[in-house]
Amino acid sequence: MAEDISERLLKAFTEFEAVADAGTAEDAARGLDEATLQLFWQRWPHVGKWAGALWRLLDEELAEAATPHEESPHHDVGGSG
């Protein structure tokens, strides 16, 4: 299941980046048809909230991984010897 989610998210990013690279947000706002605008308006809050939550979770994990554990036997402060 994780592979499926990863693959789908990578494909979605590729497509979303292609859209973002094709023009500015202002271009999109002016150029999208009414149905697409309505769909974006309706669905973006859910997608944006999900993406924000994922980003925060991953950011927290990375911050924890970058913090040395003071009591870890693998923690090397260097400078001695």
- The domain spans of the chain are 33-64
Name the token pair of 66: 């970058």
For residue 20, give the amino acid letter: A
pLDDT in tens, 24-67: 999 999 999 999 999 999 999 999 999 999 999 999 998 887 76
Cα 43 to Cα 3, 26, 49, 50, 67: the distances in Å are 24, 19, 10, 11, 37
pLDDT recorded at residue 68: 66
pLDDT tier for residue 3 given thresholds of 50, 70 and 90: confident
